[in-house]
Amino acid sequence: MGKRETRTFTEEFKQEAIRLTESSGRTIGQVADDPVIGLSTPDA
């Protein structure tokens, strides 16, 4: 198996993900499935 790369996310990215979850009434998984933001989105 290959080595997994550790991803890092900015505080701003994390806060936006939380805001989207709280304001939309959707779960974290549902927000992550949104094409604009995803769990696999690396910090740019």
> What are the domain boundaries of the chain?
8-39
Closest CA to 7 of 29, 32, 39, 36: 39
What pLDDT, in 10s, does the model give residues 4-33? 787 787 888 888 888 888 898 888 778 777
Backbone phi and psi for residue 36, each to the nearest 5 degrees, phi listed first = -80, -35
Cα(43)–Cα(6) distance, integer angstroms: 11
Would you tell me how many other CB atoms lie within 10 Å of the CB of residue 17? 18
Q: Which residue has the higher pLDDT, 42 or 15?
A: 15
Position of tokens 């989207």? Answer: 20
Cα dihedral value 16, 39, 27, 10, nearest 10: -20
Indicate yes or no: pTM above 0.95: no
